[in-house]
Amino acid sequence: MNAAARTEQLQDSASRTCARLLDAAEGLFAEKGFAATSIREITVAAGCNIAAVNYHFRSKEALYHEVFRRRLAELRERRIGSIELALSAAGRKATLEHVLRSFAEAFLEPFVDRASGARLLRIWSWELIDPHLPDGTFVDEMLEPVRRAFIKALAVTCPDIDDDAARRCVASLMGQLVHAVQLRRFDVGTRSEKKERAERAQLVEHVVRFSAAGIRACRR
């Protein structure tokens, strides 16, 4: 094996180790919270040694931050992508409803899988109870980029709405969807998957109708 191939192999191995640590840490942080989770528990679950955590992340705090940064980046790209897809797919015929529907579906999609959705909700709940992220993490990593993308879409689909009204409308839309996700915490497993899909589709259509009417009512 030549030096280049050996280097690539080592990089691949390091990347897999890093991913295992992040996956294990996310599961344990969701189950127990930051304070009650030890580095040793994470490394055992990941099949790594403590030196791997020090090498890749340097500290438990940095590992915790990276767990959230990874998830926030995934959600951010999913939501921004849904906006861009709605605009590009409909072209000049793109409407406010196209954007709202695509965004609402993308917002709710990560919570469709009951296990991963519940884990995501739990780790967020722990952070609200016992915060350890740097100030502004949620805003900087996800909320503000998504808000900017949505305001740009409103400039195309509802051009006679000013920036301040657009920001309030986006906040209102986010509030509806976050509330819907939070309510899901109380009835996970109480309905069949078929019924849950049907109710989610109805929810998306309600959000689209309600938000489109509200946004148009805020036009200059």
Alpha-helix residue ranges (DSSP H) falling in the chain: 3-32, 39-46, 50-56, 60-90, 96-108, 114-129, 137-138, 144-157, 163-184, 193-217
Q: What does the pLDDT look like over 157-201, one tens digit per residue?
A: 999 999 999 999 999 999 999 998 887 666 655 666 677 778 888
**CATH code for residues 64-217:** 1.10.357.10
Q: Please name the CATH architecture into which domain 1-58 falls.
A: Orthogonal Bundle (1.10)
Spell out the domain ranges in the chain: 1-58, 64-217
* Average pLDDT score over residue span 141-149: 95
Q: What does the pLDDT look like over 86-103, one tens digit per residue?
A: 999 878 888 999 999 999
- Rounded to two decimals, the pTM is 0.84
